[in-house]
Every structure is written in structure tokens, then in C-alpha cells.
Amino acid sequence: MDLPLRERIESVCRQYDRRRDRLMDMAIDIQAAERCISPEAQDALARELGMEVVDVQSLVTFYAFLTESPTGRVVVRLCDDIPDFLAGLDAVAEALSSELGLEFGQTSPDGQITLERTPCIGMSDQCPAALVNEVVVTNLTPESARAMARGLLRHGDPHRLVEHTGDGRNSHELIRAMVQNNLRERGPVLFGGPVTGRGLEAALRKPSAEVRAQVRASNLRGRGGAGFPTGQKWDFAAKAEGTRRTVICNADEGEPGTFKDRVLLTELPELMFEGMTIAAYAIGADEGILYLRGEYTYLRPFLEHVLGLRRRSGLLGRNILGHSGFDFDIRIQMGAGAYVCGEESALISSCEGLRGDPKTRPPYPAQSGYLGRPTVVNNVETLCAAARILEHGADWFAAIGEPQSTGTKLLSVSGHCERPGVYEVPNGLTLSDLLERVGAKQVQAVQVGGFSGHLIPPREFGRRISNTDLLTGGAVLVLGEGVDLIAMGVRVLEFFVEESCGFCTPCRAGNVLLLERMKRVAAGHGEEADYTYLAELSEAIKGTSRCGFGQTSPNVVLDLLRHFRPVLEKSIGIDPGNGTREAFDLGAALRDAERISGRRSTHHLAERTEHREAAPRKEVKIDGQTRQDTPKEGER
């Protein structure tokens, strides 16, 4: 017989020594076992840990993968980001929904299946893609979506959806995913040769200060998007006051269109762990955390296995490689579907068992981070590169790329091109070179750096992937000529509205206002004054937001205003000429009342109303083609 809920919760808490800072892990385990963290479960958790229920609730309601009411036994999360739209998402969504007999957001009455939408799951090179529990399904077509739905209705086992496993370690028995690496170009740094472990050996032969000096000399800069000099960060942490120090590897990879860390986590986890261990030695850390996004849960068993092997080989644990006094181990912290947790201070909050709210800085994590300890947070790719630097030397690394932007950069290319996938290219590569390599033609714009990055127009394709020009975490989204850029802007803002942590007003409220106005423009009711409004509001949000999220979320709007003004101007509505707002739709505003009262408006406004009815609002579709059955400009 089942234990009562209280006892089940108690046993989960015991596994984590009732440590409040492990609340994330407990919540994730409970969600998996109970399919929700009900108010009763929250209550039990709070009592067990001696916390307030609101604090538990605040965590549960923050993360998309944690729910207060039960999900189905199988949760299907279809990615609905821009690359998926470009690859025919609408038909797939329709097929999935009709075959399952569920609307998005619904759970089947028998509690078997929940159907949801989710932002990018890191498969933009093989989309449309979905998560079925932790199982990834890729390259969906309406037919394969129907087959998948039928399979789930029949056997309810997500693992049976994987008929063929992908290349490389995607076929490893602990992964067995249909994911393909799509590793199109191997550069000299990351994919230049086998993982030998010599970087760590070399590091341990030197004093830690020299390891840091070498990383400084290599001029390695962070690959997570901000480009901060890695050696300098390590120095800060090493010199900060504190008895214990922490190294965190940021594998949250939440920026839509970014999936390069997925390939590193699959193919080079040894190199990544080696990099973490080197960082730990360099700063004197005894604890490491790999923060793995919830969407990559399918990689966890394999990564645990690699950690286990390393412990057995003396590469983790006490006196690593016989170096007495160097003790270091790594645990994996799972995320649970929150983009903002990629921001380093929010990520630390999440590791501490809190909501993923960014923290106020200073103090910076290097001074006071995880549990108040000096903490280095580095991207997966940064740590891999650091291991190579210790292996081959700083000069070797600095000779690759550009003087101010050394080494290679891993790019995740998706969208309208023949060869989407991961490219390791030397820093300094121009966009036009890149577009050539990926087989992209008739390109309208390229979004570099994901939604928080920049939209680059063709006349600027001579710009370079570099710390001094286009600084990017690696996402490159190619937008062909058919794409409706305004609709795309709307989708980007919807993402930011959904994902804002809500802590500060400019970001929480400002993005909502931006979205509202962009939707008006997208519907063809723009006014000249809207552009001033959008520009001013964007600057206000960027200038006053508390973290990098709000400081970058309006970029897409500003880039549209700066580079795609003619596109925007096409959506300026017809001025009614009497001072009324083009966007105000009296007919629509009266529809409810007409239905309730069963009579038509008696006021002399019928003309205006009918003018509107003849011209239904344009639906916002990213893929330009789907617009054809709505009225075109001039037809109204």
C-alpha cells in the first residue's frame, strides 16, 4: 500500500538531509513522483524543512516544469519558438492536438496526457521538436506527430517513441536519444582532437596563480554571451574573502536558438568536467555544480555516469590525481524550465533552492555567490576552452582568431539554411562567410545572439563574430525573405513577457507595454507616433532594468526601428482623418454587448463599425505565407 503523502514527502526530504538549499531537487523529485506539488505537498514540505509555505509556493509557481495541480502521466511539450514556426510548426501542432483530442494547456480526462507549448528546448537545428516527459522528439512532421500521438495513446511510454537513435553518443545506452549532433564544422580548439586529460595534469603541476595567469594570457573571454575575461573572473574569486569556494558550470542554455552546449554535453563532457576541475584548482574551490537545464534531463544519467567514472579514476574526490589537499567534487543541479536562470545570479538563487530571481549586484558572484561563497560561473564552452588552454598553452590559443577575440566560437545555426547545426569557427568570421558555409540564400536578416541579441540586416553582413563586434552566446538564426519580421518581434516579446522574473517594474511592466504596442503595429494599425513611443520605452527598459534580461529584451524592437523601418512603415494603418485612433475598433468593442443584449448598436456609428467588419484584423504569423487569406494593404 502507498505511504501517505506526508511520509512520501518526508522521505524525499531525508534524501537531501532536509537542507533548505536543496529545495529545487526535492521539488523536482516530488513533481516527478506525484505529477504535481499540490498545496498539501507544499504544506508538508514547509513543515518538514521549517519554512513558510509561501516560500515553498513561491518556488513552485516560479518554474514552468513545476505545477500545483497534477499534469498527465505523460507531458508533451511542443516547442513553439521561431525556428519551429519556420519549419512548419502550425501543421504539426494541429496534428498533435487533433490526434490527442486535446487543446494546448489541457490534460486528458483520464489523467494520462498533458499537451503544452514550451519555448526553445535546444533542438532548433532539428525542429519542430518536442519533449515528451524527458524524451526528446525531433524533426516532427504532421504525420510523425500523429504517429507519436497514437503511440502515446496506445502504450503511454515516451521511450518507445525513439525508433532510431542519433549519431555519436546520442546512441550511448544511457542517452538513447533521436537527437543528432549536426556538428558541421570542427575547429582546432574544442573539437580539434581527443580529450586526453592533459590539461588538468598540466594545471596540477603549477601553482594555482600560474594557472590563472595562463588563462589570463590566453585572453579567453566568456562564451555564455557577456564575454567577460575568464582569467580575471578567476582572479577575483581566488582573491575574494571566504573559506569555501564554488565553481558552477552554466549549462542552462536557455537563449532561444542556442544548442551548442547540448553537443558539448553529449560529446565532450569529460573536457567540460576537466575545465571545471582546473577552475576549482585555480581558485581553490572544493565544490562544483553543473547547472543543467530541465530540458536536457535526458543527458543526466549519462553525465552522472561520466562523473562516476571520474571519481573512480581519481579525477574527482579527495587528493585529485594524487595532489594532496586538492579535494573537489561536482554535483548536477537540474533546472526546471526558467530562461532567466541562465543569468548567473538567478542561477545561483536556483542552486540555493530559491526562486530563480537575479540578485542585486554588487556583490558579484566572484565576491559572494553560492551560499555567500566566492563563486565562478562559467559557460560550458568557456570551461572546455580553458581545459584546452592548459593542455596546449596560452600562445597556441591566442594565435587562433583575433588578437582581441582569441580562440574559436561555437555557433548554433538554425532557420532558413541548408545546413543547420553546430559550427566551431575562429573568432572574426564574417556573417557573410558564415552564411555561405551554412548554405543560406535570400536572407532578409540574421538574428545573432538569440532573442536578446541583435537583428542584423543584409547591408551589415560584413560584421564579424567577435568580442569586439557581434558578441554572442552562439545563436545564429537565419531569416529568409518570407519571414514577417514584425510578427517575429511580437513572438520575441511574448517570450520575454512570459519569462521575466517580475522583480523589477521596467522589465515586468515595460515588456508588456512593448508587446501591446508591437501587436498593434503587427495588426496593421501602427501610427507614426508608435515608433517614437516604442523607441523611448525600449531605452527606458534597457536603462533601468535590474539584470541583463531587461537590459536586452527590447533589442529586437530597437533593431527593427533602426534597420527595418520600411517594413514597419508598411504596417502604418489608414488614418481615419478625424483624430480617432486607427487601432480603436468600435465594432469589436461592442460585440459582447450586442450579443448580451441581443440588439445592434443604435448609435450613429454603424458606418465605422461596418468598415471594421469588412477588414478583419490580420493574424500574427511569423511565416509570411500564412497571411494570404487575410486582406492585404489597400484592399480595405
Partner 1 sequence: MPHTKKPRVATVSLAGCFGCHMSLLDLDERFLQLSDIVEFGRSPINDLRRFNERCRVGLIEGGCCNEENVQTLVEFRESCDLLIAVGECAIMGGIPAMRNTLPLADCLEEAYLDGRSVYNPSGRIPDDPELPLLLDRVYCAHDVVKIDYHLPGCPPQADTIWQALVAVLSDNPVNLPYELVKYD
Ligand X SMILES: Cc1cc2nc3c(=O)[nH]c(=O)nc-3n(C[C@H](O)[C@H](O)[C@H](O)COP(=O)(O)O)c2cc1C
Q: 5 touches which of ligand FES, ligand X, partner 1, none (CB within 5 to 8 A by kind)?
A: none
* Nearer of residues 176 and 508 to ligand SF4, judged by Cβ: 508
Q: Which stretch binds ligand FES (CB under 6 A): 33-41, 119-127, 485-493, 521-529?
A: 119-127
The letter for the amino acid at 171 is S
Q: Pick between residue 352 and residue 530 the one whose CB is nearest to ligand X.
A: 352
Binding site partner of 253, from ligand SF4, ligand FES, ligand X, none, Cβ cut-off 5-8 A by kind: ligand X
166 binds, among ligand X, ligand SF4, partner 1, none (CB under 5 to 8 A by kind): none
For the record, the C-alpha cell of 23 comes out as: 529545495
Pairing verdict, β 287-292 and 183-185: unpaired
Does residue number 228 form part of the binding site for ligand X (CB under 6 A)? yes
Q: By CB under 8 A, is residue 536 in contact with partner 1? A: no
550-589 positions binding partner 1, by CB under 8 A: 578-581, 583-584, 586, 588-589
Q: Nearer Cβ to ligand X, position 162 or 556? A: 556
User: CA–CA separation, 250 vs 515, rounded Å?
Assistant: 29
Looking from the CA of 181 toward its CB, the CA atoms found within 13 Å total 21
Is 31 a residue that touches ligand X (CB under 6 A)? Answer: no
Query: To 10 degrees, the CA torsion angle through 539, 543, 549, 553?
Result: 0
Contact between 203 and ligand FES (CB under 6 A)? no
Number of residues that bind ligand X (CB under 6 A): 22
Does the footprint of partner 1 cover residue 592 (CB under 8 A)?
A: yes
Q: Which is nearer to ligand SF4, 128 or 358 (CB)?
A: 358
Task: Closer to ligand FES by CB, 123 or 215: give it.
Answer: 123
What distance in Å separates the CA atoms of residue 468 and residue 63, rounded to the nearest whole number? 35
DSSP letter string, 510-538: HHHHHHHHHHHHHTT-B-HHHHHHHHHHH
Distant-in-sequence, close-in-space partners of 257: CB < 8 Å, separation ≥ 6? 81, 82, 83, 120, 124, 412, 414, 415, 447, 450, 451, 475, 476, 477
Task: Report the nearest approach of ligand X to the CB of residue 178 (Å).
Answer: 23
Give the one entry of ligand FES, partner 1, ligand SF4, none that residue 579 binds, where binding means its C-beta sits below a cut-off of 5 to 8 angstroms depending on kind.
Answer: partner 1
| Least distance from ligand SF4 to the Cβ atom of residue 256, Å | 15
HEC assignment per residue over 101-114:
CCCCCCECCCCCEE
Is the Cβ of residue 122 or residue 510 nearer to ligand FES in the bound state? 122
**Cα–Cα distance measured from residue 489 to residue 631, given in angstroms and rounded to the nearest whole number:** 21
- C-alpha–C-alpha distance, residues 413 and 125, integer Å: 7
CB of 474 to ligand FES, least distance (A): 13
CA angle 149, 154, 156 (to 5 degrees): 75
Is residue 548 a contact point for ligand X (CB under 6 A)? yes
Count of residues in contact with ligand FES, rule CB under 6 A: 13
Site for ligand X in 315-354 (CB under 6 A): 340, 342-344
Interacting residues of 379 by C-beta distance below 8 A, sequence separation 6+: 222, 223, 224, 225, 249, 250, 261, 473
Distances (CA, A) of 301 to 176, 266, 297, 316: 11, 11, 8, 18
Verify binding: residue 616, partner 1, rule CB under 8 A. Answer: no
* Cα separation, 509 vs 523, whole angstroms: 21
Interface ranges with partner 1 (CB under 8 A) = 578-581, 583-584, 586, 588-594, 596-599, 601-605
Interface ranges with ligand FES (CB under 6 A) = 79, 81, 83-84, 120-124, 127, 129, 256-257
Interface ranges with ligand X (CB under 6 A) = 222-226, 228, 250, 252-255, 340, 342-344, 377-379, 382, 547-549
